């Protein structure tokens, strides 16, 4: 069974970076020899949130900003699944900003892929949390005056166990980053640059090529070095910024705390304990 869906009508604008991400994801999942039946993608709302519709796997198209808690629950219920949480920069860092922080804190073994085009594409082009200062839209007519949200700096400071950034324009580099993220045990953030060709005329394919660089001679195990790289806005780094392989994983801690003998989804209520509980409440 293959991940790629053939002859599927895809509803994105011509030239949208989501096409490249979809192509890369299909190849990554195939290359890792994953089973579509044991792979789950949870998405939020937005153009990026449509991605799992076009891949042959299990999916939940959730509420705006709510992909991460659902993905955490899915992984806790059956830790044998490969779980991806996917959405746009507005969905994950705006509406879902609180869940973003707590997913990092809990460290479930999931991969969080954020399509970062620095604009709200579905709702016609207003500024998103990552839009640059001065960005003008039909809503921000005088330009954005806040500094953009820095997801990598936040994730590293909260000790996310894997933090990386890629650009859809470099397919092979992005594939390697995503493979490393999926194979990593723990919460893995991949902030993935992709242009919105209709509503963001600033951060284009050419802009990303000219304003990014690849991390070289960088030690991803050094948190201070990673923080410095994340705050470097002279050019935006691409690569793996930070890794912490020693951080306990959420579903493993659940096993120890609740003493699960079987996956949560297979558990049946203990009738004797339930009867005792009901009698104690009577």
Question: Cα 136 to the chain's mean position, in Å?
Answer: 26
**Contact criterion met (CB below 8 Å) for 2 and 27:** no
Instruction: Output the average pLDDT for the chain.
Output: 90
Digit-coded pLDDT (tens) for 183-204: 999 999 999 999 999 999 999 9
Residue 4 falls inside a structural domain: no
CA angle 167, 168, 169 (to 5 degrees): 90
User: So what's the pLDDT on residue 222?
Assistant: 96
- Our count of domains for the chain comes to 1
Digit-coded pLDDT (tens) for 202-258: 999 999 999 999 999 999 999 999 999 999 988 999 999 999 999 999 988 876 555
User: So what's the pLDDT on residue 282?
Assistant: 64
User: So what's the pLDDT on residue 267?
Assistant: 66
User: So what's the pLDDT on residue 187?
Assistant: 98
**Contact criterion met (CB below 8 Å) for 129 and 149:** yes
- Provide the residue count of the chain: 282
Which residues have CB under 8 Å from 37's CB, separation 6+? 1, 58
The boundaries of the domain holding residue 142 are 17-281
CATH of the domain at 176: 3.40.50.970
User: So what's the pLDDT on residue 124?
Assistant: 79
Digit-coded pLDDT (tens) for 44-75: 998 888 899 999 999 999 888 899 999 999 99
Q: Which of 114-118, 252-256, 270-274 has the highest mean pLDDT?
A: 114-118
Residue 73 falls inside a structural domain: yes
User: So what's the pLDDT on residue 44?
Assistant: 92
Which residues have CB under 8 Å from 143's CB, separation 6+? 133, 134, 135, 136
User: So what's the pLDDT on residue 71?
Assistant: 96
Q: Which of 84-98, 164-178, 263-277 is predicted with the least confidence, judged by mean pLDDT? A: 263-277
């Amino acid at each position: 069974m293959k991940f790629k869906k053939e002859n599927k009508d895809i509803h994105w604008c011509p030239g949208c970076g989501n096409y490249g991400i979809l192509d890369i994801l299909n190849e990554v999942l195939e290359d890792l020899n994953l089973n579509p039946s044991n792979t789950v993608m949870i998405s939020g709302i937005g153009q990026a949130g449509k991605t799992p519709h076009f891949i042959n796997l299990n999916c939940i198209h959730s509420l705006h900003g709510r992909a991460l808690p659902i993905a955490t629950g899915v992984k806790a219920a059956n830790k044998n699944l490969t779980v991806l949480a996917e959405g746009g920069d507005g969905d994950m860092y705006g509406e879902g900003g609180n869940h973003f922080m707590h997913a990092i804190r809990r460290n479930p073994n999931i991969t969080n892929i954020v399509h970062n085009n620095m604009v709200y594409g579905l709702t016609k082009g207003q500024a998103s949390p990552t839009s640059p200062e001065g960005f003008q839209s039909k809503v921000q007519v005088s330009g954005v005056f806040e500094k953009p949200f820095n997801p990598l700096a936040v994730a590293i400071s909260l000790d996310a166990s894997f933090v990386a950034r890629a650009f859809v324009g470099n397919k092979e580099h992005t594939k390697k980053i995503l493979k490393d993220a999926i194979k990593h045990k723990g919460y893995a953030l991949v902030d993935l640059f992709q242009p919105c060709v209709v509503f963001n005329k600033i951060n284009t394919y050419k802009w990303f090529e000219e304003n990014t660089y690849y991390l070289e001679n960088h030690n991803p195990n050094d948190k201070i070095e990673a923080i410095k790289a994340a705050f470097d806005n002279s050019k935006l780094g691409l690569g793996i910024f930070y890794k912490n392989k020693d951080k306990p994983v959420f579903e493993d801690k659940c096993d120890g705390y609740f003493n699960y003998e079987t996956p949560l989804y297979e558990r049946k209520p203990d009738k004797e304990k339930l009867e005792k509980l009901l009698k104690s409440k009577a």
